[in-house]
Every structure is written in C-alpha cells, then in structure tokens.
Amino acid sequence: MRHEFESRPASEPVWLKSWHPRSADAIEAPHCPVEPRTATERPSLAEGGNTDSTEIDAAFLEAVSRGLSLPEKALAPACLWDETGADLMARAAEDPDCYPASREAGLLGEVAAEVATLVGPEPRVLVFGAAPAGGLDALLAALDRPHPPEILPLDGAPPRPDGDGAHPEALLGACLGATAGSLAPADLVAVLERARAILGRGWLLVGTDPNGDTESLLRAHADDGGLMAAFHLNVLHRLARANGDATPDRPAEAGAQGGADAAAAPLGPEDFRHEARVRLDPFRVETHLVAERAGTLRVGDETIPFAHGESVRTGCAYRYAPGVFQELAADAGWEPVRCWLDPDGLFSLHLLRGEA
C-alpha cells in the first residue's frame, strides 16, 4: 500500500498494533549505563551540567503533570529520553524495521558530495533541532572546509551574525533525523519560516519520511520484539522512580473489583499496553499507552484519573510525501532545488534554496 487512504474517513485510524508488558515477548527495561549523549542527540529532561537528580525529577514530574492535564492526554517527547530510553531506542534502531535513521544515513552518504558542490566552500552550518551524529558527520566530511556546526533550537532567538568572513550564500541549514517528522504541518511551516529568516538566500537540507505503507509503519513503531514498546513504557517506570515508588502500592485485588474502589486504585506500568496507530489528515503515526483498567496515576503530589481504555499519546510522527513537503517549503519562502529518494521510498532528502 502506498498512501492510498483518500477513500477512508479522515477520523478512521488505520490501526492497530498492540503490545502488553505481560506478554511473552516482554523486554525488561535495562538499568545499565549508556554512552554519554552528544549535542546532536535527542533532548531530554535530564540535561544540564550541574542539575542534580532532585531538580531533574521535579522538571520531569512537572512536564508529565502538564501533559496529563490536557483534554487529550499527551506527553512531550523529552519525557521519554532518559538514559534507559536512549539505550532502548539505540537497540531498536538496529532492527531493519526501524528504518528511518539507517535510511537517512545511507542516503546522506550518497548525496553529500552533490550537496557540497551546490553549497560551495566554507559554509557556515546551522543544525535546527536534533540530528543523528552519523548522518551529520557524513555531511560535514563531504563539505569543503565547513565551519563547526552550530546547534539551534527550533524556536528562540536567532544566532549571532558570523564575523569571520562567511557569506550568505555559504550558509547551510540542516534539519535531519526525526526533526521534521515530529512537527505537524503548521508547526513545520513555522520552523521553515524561521530557518528562512536566519539563512536568507542560503541553503537548507531537510530529511522527511514519505512512507505510506501502513504495515511497515506499524512494524517501525511497534516492533514484534517489544523494544519500541519498552521505550514508551519506560516513561511509566521513570515516573514510579521519580515518585519514590519501586512498584505501585495497592491491594492485589483492588483492580479486579468494580465501583469507586477500582476507579481509585493506583495504576502501574503493568496496567498499560503500548499501541501504534496510523491516522489520516494529516498522515501520521501515533504511539499511545492505553490503560487496561480504570484507576489513578500518581504524579508527585497529584493523582490523575484514567478511565478503562483511556490513552496518553507518547509520540506522533508525521509522514510527508515529497510533493506535500515541497508545497509546505514553498509556503515558507523556499525554492526546492533537489529531492533525493531512498530506492525503496522509505526516506527522502530535500535541498532548498531561499527565494530571491
């Protein structure tokens, strides 16, 4: 199937793949150290050189509380990225079904020389959001004497003007990894407009996932081995630790009883299942943690009620076909110059030039 969803009602999800921590395929969240994160890896609420664990836990609990207080419960991506989450995602990325990072890196290796020729020598490189170190290294290796890359947030103040001789035509922005796919269309246009204001007549290289195959998308976001599920469920284990609970303290029979007692019984990680859902308009993959019974989830001093079957969205990845992305880029003041597509149609790279 290739993005043939127009005949379906926009409200109908093309779904579902579920995984439960009590299944035979369950993978325990590891408690082992991982390599230090670099500036190009995913942001997390654990960043900060002098930030102690109490401050980290407080920021994490505040972010979770804010997300669970929304009309439709949803967690910010940074909530998922502690050391355990980073390790689980690194392990999941080794699976061929979890294709975006490897496909982007392979495509960058093939086209980086052409990008370098078009951009010219000594470009000032500005990285918008996060970018995988491997792909960025391949790009930098191909460029002719690039300036050290500068990492910019997706919002906030623009960088200071460069004073060492770089010219506007030698500006190259990079929006790689899952950055573009994490943004809804309106938000993506806003980021592209900000990049246009910063780069002027410079260049912007953007990676997008155009995959419209429902089955492969579900495999990528809910693999049979359970690593992606463990990655998302890890936020509940992290919450229990931040609360100071090894496991929820509730009577064993509370969840089985009906009435008010069951609705007030505390929920733990084992009371949620992981689901990946493909939805339309806009085309995206959502990941959810679904409560398998009614109860309450403790977040610091708060208790958040969950109905049976209620979910919290833990991720949303948008899929942009080349033509769709180019229309959004044009709306933001960019001229599409090149579009490279992975041989299997699983990833694309767009080189844009600021319109005169």
Look at residues 117, 133, 199, 206 and name the one whose alpha carbon lies nearest to residue 162.
Answer: 199
Question: Residue 28, Cβ neighbours under 10 Å: how many?
Answer: 9
Residue 62 and residue 299: Cα distance in Å, rounded?
8
Q: Which pLDDT value is given to residue 46?
A: 53
Q: Which pLDDT value is given to residue 236?
A: 97
Q: Which residues have C-beta within 8 Å of that of residue 63, sequence separation ≥ 6?
A: 45, 75, 76, 78, 79
Query: pLDDT digit of tens for each residue in the chain (356 aa)?
Result: 222 223 233 344 444 555 544 444 444 333 222 222 233 345 555 544 445 678 889 999 999 999 999 999 999 999 999 999 999 999 998 999 999 989 999 999 999 999 999 999 999 999 998 877 778 888 999 999 999 999 998 886 676 655 554 445 589 999 999 999 999 999 999 999 999 999 999 999 999 999 999 999 999 999 878 999 999 999 999 999 999 874 444 444 444 455 556 667 999 999 999 999 999 989 999 999 999 999 999 999 999 999 999 999 999 999 999 999 999 999 999 999 999 999 999 999 999 999 87
Q: Which pLDDT value is given to residue 55?
A: 84
Residue 208 and residue 156: Cα distance in Å, rounded?
23
Instruction: Assess contact for 104 and 347: CB atoms under 8 A.
Output: yes
Give the tens place of pLDDT for each residue, 183-219.
999 999 999 999 999 999 999 999 999 999 999 999 9
Task: Record the tokens describing residue 307, joined without a space.
Answer: 């109905």
Instruction: Assess contact for 226 and 206: CB atoms under 8 A.
Output: no
CA atoms within a 13 Å half-sphere pointing along the CA-CB vector of 215: 2
Q: Which pLDDT value is given to residue 251?
A: 45
Q: Which pLDDT value is given to residue 33?
A: 25
Give the tens place of pLDDT for each residue, 67-118.
999 999 999 999 999 999 999 999 998 999 999 989 999 999 999 999 999 9
Task: Record the tokens describing residue 248, joined without a space.
Answer: 């929820």
Question: Can you point out the beta strands (E) in 181-242?
Answer: 203-208
* pTM exceeds 0.85, yes or no: no
